Structure formats: structure tokens, C-alpha cells
Amino acid sequence: MKLPRLALTLSLLPAGQLLADTFEREQALKLPDVLISANRQVEARNDSSAANTVFTREDIDRLQPSSVTDLLSRVPGVQVSQSGGRGSLPGIYIRGTGSAQSLVLVDGQRIGNSTSGDSNLQHLNIQQIERVEVLRGSRSVIYGSDAIGGVIQIFTRRSTESGLQPRVHMGFGSNQTWERSLGLSGGDAQTRFNLGASLDDTAGINRTHESYPSDDDHDAYRNKSLSLSLSHAFNDDIEAGLNILDNRGKSEFDNPFGRYDMSTGNSVQQKPYNDFTVSSFSSYVDARINDAWKSRVELGHSENREETFDTLSDDHSVFNTYRNSLNWQNDLTLNRQNSLILGGDWYEDRVNSSTPFDEDSRWNRAVFIQHRFQAQNFSTELGLRRDQNQQFGGQNSWSGTFTLPLNPDNDVLLSYSEGFRAPTFNDLYYPDFSNPNLKPETSKSYEVQWRSQLSETSRLEASLYRTDLEDAIIFGSHSRPENIASARINGFEAALKQEAFGWQSNLGVSIIDPRDRDSGHTLARRARRTLSLDLDRQFDRLGLGATWQAVSSSYDDKDNRQPLGGYALLGLRSSWALNHQITLEMKVDNLLNKDYSRALYEHDGSQYRYREEGRALMFGVTWMPQL
């Protein structure tokens, strides 16, 4: 990390916002040009070896996304595949890898479901989020399992100003959608806090086409969210804090496959819904031992609970997963050229389910080390991690990066990284459909990055990469998962940020070739080409913006027999500051009312598309009274 550059960035903040030197990480959450997730420490974005995208709270307010997945669809190399509007389960594909092959964190805590591997990002309320960081490419040396495709880290709302700052947001839109949120933040030179609560609900849309009559209705969604952050600086060298995020609610969905009735041997209709909870708790202590040694200890707990019901029958199921974790990291500055990261991780997963699993808990512990050398004309980064898992034993992960500055405005990075994904509880222990002898999926990735400051108002970041996946887990001939698949993913992605004539533009482009190495088929639900363009301009109190996203065709199945058509979406947004306290907002998503789908399903031998929302309007008002 280049400390002078980061110090300059922090020094540009207004003096009233700098509450204490020990709040460096908290202050960094507000800044667009720093990164935290890559090495679990504050560093300048351009000094990180990871290809990355950062959304600050200012970006979120400007873009007015309806959800975290809406925000992620703007990231080059990231594809989102949902199955029907708000609250539906999304597939998140980073650089062509699967949803379970990317790690999702909230304030440093894993929130992925340990039975299915899903992250349930659709349930995280956007009003409770301060910042989103997306790392593209394996980070298994720092994070271990699941970080093959990349890492998504969400940080909850924070306070950086002294005094009290309340906020109120109300919104209403299409499909009887309501958004309501309240928040209060504040602090002084030693202590800061943020408390927020949200309630969103929508009548939803009819997600499926013809199947059973019970599916011919709108699928409603309701989400209640609560967040709390609290931090205290005991002195210039010691800081402690905690972060809590709790999302819970009800989500209706269709089951076009019906329920198998053993007494008749036929499928009967259902009208299912689930009560969900996605929550995380993290606490930490940051200590500056001396000028060369910083240490951070984090203790966390996360829960992913889902209870499913059927209004037409007594069907009832429970799938609850719990995770406790402990992390200790030490950042050592050996001299001007050499620095080290040393740390250890431990976490334990537990399952409480109405389905009896053969095993319902397991632990994982790990140690890692990463060395960075900064010479005058180049820099290197070399890392090693050793994981020991109760189920599959040991796993080593290596990574290395060589950075060559061509001149002050252009850097070239060459990197190699290894990754792995541990099998889920469903893969290993689900009754009659599991395999306890599975090995972890593994990956090897090679990447070339070019970062260029083309001008004072234009920046380009581009990557060319290849990822090889081995021992990929798929269902074999006996309806049990096996380590028999392999894949090769070649890709190119670029992000161009440009300011011209008062307009701010962000262009993201991705081209990938994700193939099953055995069959030669394209991996399911991966479009080969994606493009996202955001244009925004501020005219005094009036803000105007537009988003255009284009996604090429793909396939819904591994045999490439079920094509999914490509689509392009246009959205418009605006905001009007009535005064320093009240802002009006309006947006139109899918302005051209495009009929499109990101997933298919079969019923009685016929294929149907899951519906996505058509043209949707949203009006909102944000009030931030001054106390």
C-alpha cells in the first residue's frame, strides 16, 4: 500500500468529517478511490492487485438501484440471473463462475447459505448499505473457500460527521411497491453510531406462465430490515466496534412443477411462500501496536433461515444455517519496500433442518501469509494459504502478482491465483442425493490487467484472463453429485470512466467464452457479451441520469438445448433538491417495456420463461432535517 497517496486522499476530506485518526477504515468507506476488501486493509484502489469496482453511498443515491442485484448488474464481468422480479432468487456469475463459486460478505462476515451455497443477496435492503466492493478474480489466499470467481463485500451504513443526522425516505411505485426507511447517525471525536430501519413491500408480478391455476397470481414480497453500527476510539491506537444487519420477511413464489402426491402418483398444485431471515453480526478490535504493526481481531455470527409453507396443504419445511467465525490479521511494515500480512481464520457451520442431514456441523481453520515488495520500477505480491477442513482435509492456495508501471499514468499487472470451493451440506449430506466423498472444486487463474489514466477526466481499466476449473461438482448418472466436470473460461472486460461537458459516464464491457471442457458446450446462463452504460449530470439542484444495459443470448441448460434470448434495457432517473433537507426522486426502469427472461422452467414437457418486471415507475422523497 502506498501510504502517501492514501494519506493525501484522506486529507482532502473536510476537517469536520475527520473525527479521529483511528477511524481510518470508517472514513475510507466514504471514498471512491480506496479499497478494503482485497487485503482486509485500507489501500488505494490503484495499488490493489485485484480488478475491482466500488460503489459508495453517493453512487447508490445517484443511481437509485432497487436492489443490490440491480447494482451488481452494472459491474463488468458480473451477470445476474433472476427468476421473476423483486425477492426472487438470483444467480450471480462473476467472470463466468457459478453463484456458489463467489464469496459474499457483509461487514467481513460470510452470509452464504451453507446448504445450497446461495447468498440470498436479494434480501439485503439497499437503504441500509453504505458501500459495495466487487473483486473480480480469485482471492482464496485471503478468504479461502468460495472466492474462485471473486468477492462481493457489502458494508452497512456508517456515520462520519459530528452531531446527529436523521434521515427519512419514502417511495411508491408500480406493482403497489412501497419503500419506507428511517435512520439516525451521529458521533463525536471518540464515538460514532448509525441506526437504520426499513420496510419494503410489493404486490409483485406473476412470475410464471401457464402451469397450475394457483400460479396465476402475483407473487408478493415483504422485507423488514434493521441495521446498527457502533464504534469507539479508546485512544489514538485502539478502536472497537460492532455492526449488525438483520433482514427478514415473506416471499411468495410459484412452483410450476407442482407437488408429488404419493397417494395418487400425480402432481398437484401448490401456492407456496417462505418466511426468511438473513442476518449478520460482527465485532472487532483494531490496535496499532507500534509504527510498524497493526492488528485486527474480528468475531462474527451470521444466520440464513428459511421456513417454507403452502397455503393449499400442510406442507412445511425448515432450512436454517448458522455460522460463527473468528479472524485475526496482522499488517506489518518491515521497511519502505517490504510489508507482510499474517493471519488466521476459523469458522464453524451448523444446519438445523426439517430434513435430517447425515452431518449437521463442520469447522474450517486456516492460516495465511502475503508479502508485498515495492521497488522503484516494479512491485510484487506473493501469498500462501493453508485451510484445514473437518470434512475434506487440507487445501493449499497460492497467488502472485507482478506490477510494472510503464509511466505515471499506466500500469500493467500480471497475476496467477488459485482458488477452491468446499462442497455444501446439500452436496455432502442431503439424504439419498449426496456424496460424502466429494473433493473441493479447484481453480487456476491467469490475468493481465492494464490500468490507464488517459486524461484528467478519463480512466480505463481492462483485464484479459483465463480460469481453469477442475473437479467441478455436478449430478452424475446416479443422481448424486460427483467431481467429474471441468471448465475453461476465457474473458475480457473493461471499465471506462469519462467526464465530458458536465456529464459523468461509466461504461462496462465484458466478453467471455465459458465452456465445459468435456462437451465443449457453453456453461448455462452465461451470456458471452454484456454491456452497461450509466450517464449522469447535475444541473444545480436537478440531477438527470440514464442506464442502458445489453445482454447477449445464452442457454438455460448445460446441453445447450434451451436458448435464452438476449435483451437490452433502458432506464431513466432524476432528482430535484427542493432545499438542503428535501430531495425528490423519480425513475423509470425498463422504459421500453421489454419482455425478457433470464431463466426457463419446464411443465408437462413444455418450456416456459420466468417473467421479469416490465416498465416500472418509482417516486420517492428523502428528508434529512438539520438538528
Q: Is 87 exposed, middle or buried (0-12, 13-18, 19+ CB in 10 A)?
A: buried
Q: In angstroms, what CA-CA distances link 508 with 53, 82, 268, 384?
A: 10, 20, 45, 32
Element (DSSP H or E) covering residue 531: strand 529-539
pLDDT the model gives residue 433: 87
Q: What is the dihedral of CA 229, 235, 238, 243, to 10 degrees?
A: 0
Collapsed DSSP state (helix, strand, coil) of residue 424: coil
Secondary structure string (H, E, C) spanning 355-380: CCCCCCEEEEEEEEEEEEEECCCCEE
How many CA atoms does the CB half-sphere of 317 hold within 13 Å?
8
Tens digits of per-residue pLDDT, 413-439? 999 999 999 999 999 999 888 999 999
- Inform me whether the pLDDT recorded for 13 exceeds 70: no
Residue 22 has pLDDT above 70, yes or no: no
Tens of pLDDT, residues 114-129: 998 888 899 999 999 9
User: In this structure, what C-alpha cell is assigned to residue 370?
Assistant: 502475503
For residues 88-117, average pLDDT: 93
CB atoms within 10 A of CB 424: 25
Residues with Cβ < 8 Å from 214, sequence gap 6 or more?
Answer: 269, 270, 271, 312
Q: What number is the average pLDDT over the span 511-540?
A: 95
* Mean pLDDT of all residues in 491-514: 96
Percent above pLDDT 70 for the chain: 92
Per-residue pLDDT band at 294 (split at 50, 70, 90): very high
Supply the pLDDT for residue 4: 44
Give me the long-range contacts of 6-13 (CB less than 8 A, separation at least 24): 6/34, 6/42, 6/43, 6/44, 9/33, 9/34, 9/44
Q: Read off the pLDDT band of 266 (50, 70, 90).
A: low
**pLDDT tens digits along 80-90:** 988 877 888 89
Confidence band for 147, pLDDT divided at 50, 70 and 90: very high
In angstroms, the CA 287 to CA 299 distance is 15
pLDDT of residue 477: 60
Q: DSSP letters of 313-325?
A: S--EEEEEEEEEE
Residue 393's pLDDT is 87
Q: How far apart are CA 98 and CA 92, in angstroms?
A: 7
- pLDDT(410) > 70: yes
Residue 587 has pLDDT above 70, yes or no: yes
Q: Which SS3 state, helix, strand or coil, does residue 551 take?
A: strand
Beta bridge partners of 238: 287
Check whether 214 has a pLDDT greater than 70: no
- pLDDT for 213 equals 58
- Average pLDDT of the chain, as a whole number: 90
pLDDT in tens, 425-484: 999 999 888 999 999 999 999 999 999 999 999 999 999 999 999 998 887 666 788 888
Q: What percent of the chain has pLDDT over 90?
A: 76
pLDDT at 318 over 90: yes
Domain boundaries, the chain: 161-623
pTM (predicted TM-score): 0.93
Alpha-carbon distances of 563 from 82, 95, 96, rounded to whole Å: 16, 20, 17
Model pLDDT, residue 19: 38
- The stretch 505-523 carries a mean pLDDT of 95
Which triple of cell numbers denotes residue 540?
A: 444545480
* pLDDT the model gives residue 176: 95
The C-alpha atoms of residue 547 and residue 551 are separated, in whole angstroms, by: 13
Q: What is the pLDDT of residue 211?
A: 56
Helices (H) and strands (E) in the chain, counts: 6, 37
* pLDDT over 70 (residue 16): no
d(CA 102, CA 94): 7
Q: Check whether 17 has a pLDDT greater than 60.
A: no
| Alpha-carbon radius of gyration of the chain | 24
Q: Which CATH superfamily is domain 161-623 in?
A: TonB-dependent receptor, beta-barrel domain (2.40.170.20)
- Ranking 95-99, 177-181, 260-264, 591-595 by mean pLDDT, the lowest is 260-264
Separation of CA 273 from chain center: 25
Beta bridge partners of residue 619, listed in sequence order: 172, 586
pLDDT at residue 24, as a whole number: 79
Q: Which residue has the higher pLDDT, 311 or 349?
A: 349
DSSP 610: P
Rounded Cα distance between 68 and 126, Å, is 6
Q: Which is it for strands 361-374 and 338-353: parallel, antiparallel or unpaired?
A: antiparallel
Strand boundaries in 456-528, DSSP class E: 458-475, 481-500, 503-516
